[in-house]
Amino acid sequence: MTEAMNIHEAKTRLSSLIARVCKGETIIIAKAGKPMVKLVPLAEDTLPRVPGRYKGKISMAPDFDDTPDEIIAAFEGDAV
């Protein structure tokens, strides 16, 4: 079930809206009658993290660690 309501009403009923969303409902929050956001439950990651999945697919430029002096000066507040 989906329900729409304005921002003011959603603010005053936030706790109960969260409980309803956790039970499977979807809440649309509108401003001046225009739908702005959808309140839905946070989805858990379905796939486990696999370390090393991108090994060999990502590379760094050989000069990655070589930062020009003018860039370092800009970060340190010594910009010319």
Residue 52 placed within a domain: no
Number of structural domains found in the chain? 1
Residue 80, pLDDT above cutoff 60: no
Residue 10 placed within a domain: yes
CATH of the domain at 9: 3.40.1620
DSSP string, the chain: -EEEEEHHHHHHTHHHHHHHHHTT-EEEEEETTEEEEEE-PPPPP-S---TTTTTTT----TTTT---HHHHHHHTT---
Range of the domain at 7: 2-39
For 33-73, what is each residue's pLDDT tens digit?
899 999 999 887 778 888 998 899 999 999 988 999 998 89
